[in-house]
Amino acid sequence: MGNRSKDGEQADGEALEGSTQALLALIPAATVVVDGDGEVVRSSPDAYRLGIVSNDEISNPKIIEAIVQVRRSGGRRSFNLITRTPTEFALDVTAESTESDNWDIDEAEDPGDETHVQAQAVSRRNWLKVTLGRIDQSLVVVLIDDVSDSVRFVRTRDAFMTNVSEQMLKPVQALEELAAQLKTTSHLEGDDPELLRSHLRSVSKDASSVQRYSAYLGHVLKDLLLLIRAQERIKPSRENVLDVAEQIRAVVQDEQNGADQAHVTLRWRCDQPLTIHGDGQQIRVALAKLVENAISYSPSGSTVSLAAQASKDGHYAKIRVVDHGRGISKADQGRIFERFYRADNQNEETAVGIGLGLAIVKHVALTHHGSVTVWSAPGEGSTFTLMLPLAQDPVAGQDGDNPSD
């Protein structure tokens, strides 16, 4: 329900019969009831989050028009609608995007820092199926079915098929070239030995290309499958409560060998017990992607740090991955979360990447009702911050952890 006064609540009871209220409470879709004066007398909390109701009034012009038509002519109206989650329901650290599922740069000052943060954040669109009908001569009910998750899944699935098809072109071409070279080999037996050796070198080169593209394609498929799995929103339950420190510890252990090979020191700490609801595999993959990027872009002898703490309002776990590498240009920051986007700051270590890591991180954050932000400056390094809602009822008996120094 919205924040209505006691007089408003009493009016609700007078406007709606008890049986009608009980029936509306059983409907799984978000519901809004509007009286003859156009005022909301009953509203599900989701109607505010979906951008349908604001200040106890319908805020969407298309629904307002439909209410007038239904009240005038009766019957029922159904249509599809796309809205955006209002700013007040977004995290304080996020910046509203003006494009579908794109991320824009927004400059804001971090109160705990003397630097300016260029934050990358998301405001996702809501895909809704809306149905309106009259309850009586004055009251109109609005039923809102949020099908956003289904729409996003279909879009990602279609993008998956398109991306896989595109990424398979080069491996297939390399296989065709290798097959042609091998076919020619049989005709060179008994010819000039030097010509044969030259031909075999060409065959070896083509075979290397096939091997490289096979590894690349395997990486693409693995990451795209991860992206597909990171589409379904996480529903909090006692079965999916995770200890943040345990997730970070597991990632650090897995990435330690890569850090050692790069001569990069990997440090982490979690200053207090933090629990979240989530899919442990997805959370670890997201953190691993951030850590792997940080290591890859860091110079030998530098340090990559992970730090977890509660947000100032106590509602979120704030996990930061900090490196002191080459940093990201402002132009690239606007696109680094796009699928297959590759920034210009590649080195020998990162040149073989495919550009899906940060897209995976973004989607994991969103499916866990959180966000990811980035601060970066060329030559100064980068800080990626993952914000995830804290579990409201932590499992008893969980301890803090010992930070590694």
Residues 139, 170, single domain; the answer is no
Amino acid letter at 45? P
pLDDT band at residue 22 under the 50/70/90 scheme: low
Structure tokens at 300: 């030998």
Tell the residue number behind the tokens 């030559």, with chain if given.
379
Contact (Cβ atoms closer than 8 angstroms) between residue 208 and residue 178: no
CA angle (132, 138, 144) in 5-degree steps: 20
Tell me the C-alpha distance between 58 and 228, whole Å. Answer: 35
Q: Tell whether 359 and 289 lie within a shared domain.
A: yes
| Within a domain: 284 | yes
Torsion angles phi and psi, residue 308, rounded to 5: -125, 140
Task: Evaluate whether residue 398 is within a structural domain.
Answer: no
- Comparing 7-16, 24-33, 249-258, 348-357, which segment has the lowest mean pLDDT? 7-16
Residue 24: what pLDDT?
55
pLDDT at 190: 58
Residue 205's SS3 state is helix
Domain boundary (207, 229, 251) is at 229
Q: How many CB atoms sit inside 10 A of residue 53's CB? A: 26
Same domain for 157 and 139? no
- Euclidean distance between CA atoms 67 and 368, whole angstroms: 34
Angle subtended at Cα 106 by Cα 100 and Cα 107, rounded to the nearest 5 degrees: 175
Last residue of a domain, one of 146, 175, 192: 146
Specify the pairing of strand 57-58 against strand 53-54: antiparallel
21: domain CATH number is: 3.30.450.20
- Do 134 and 162 sit in the same domain of this protein? no
What is the mean pLDDT of the segment spanning 307-325? 93
Q: Is residue 108 in some structural domain?
A: no
Through-space distance between the first and last CA atoms of the chain, rounded to whole angstroms: 48
CA–CA separation, 321 vs 287, rounded Å? 8
pLDDT tens figures, 25-36: 556 668 899 888
- Based on the fold, state whether residues 249 and 383 are members of the same structural domain: yes
Q: What total number of domains does the chain contain?
A: 3
Q: Domain boundary residue among 229, 260, 278?
A: 229
Q: What gap in Å lies between CA 20 and CA 138, rounded to an integer?
A: 14
Contact 147, 129 (CB under 8 A): yes
Query: CB within 8 A of 54, min separation 6: which ones?
Result: 48, 86
What's the mean pLDDT when you consider all of the chain?
76
- With respect to residue 261, please indicate whether it lies within any of the assigned structural domains: yes
Nearest Cα to Cα of residue 140 among 79, 83, 69: 69
Q: Does the residue 120 lie in any domain?
A: no
Average pLDDT over residues 239-259: 94
- Same domain assignment for residues 243 and 288: yes
Q: CATH number, domain at 341?
A: 3.30.565.10
51 and 134 housed in the same domain: yes
**Residue 90: per-residue pLDDT:** 57
370 lies in a domain? yes
Residues 195 and 138 in one domain: no
**Same domain, residue pair 203 and 257:** no
Residues 6+ apart with CB under 8 A from 161: none
Interval 33-45 mean pLDDT: 87
Task: Answer yes or no: is pLDDT of 115 > 50.
Answer: no
- 144 vs 24, residue with greater confidence: 144
Q: What is the DSSP string of 167-197?
A: HHHHHHHHHHHHHHHHHHHGGGTTS-HHHHH
Residues 131 and 11 in one domain: yes
Whether 385 is covered by a domain: the verdict is yes
For residue 59, the enclosing domain spans: 6-85+126-146
209 with 269, same domain: the answer is: no
315: confidence class by pLDDT, cuts 50, 70, 90: very high
Closest-CA residue to 369 (of 84, 89, 29): 89
- Locate 240 and state its tokens: 């999916």
Q: Same domain for 244 and 384?
A: yes
* 212 bridge partner residues: none
Q: Is residue 97 part of a domain?
A: no
Reported as a pLDDT band with limits 50, 70 and 90, residue 19 is low
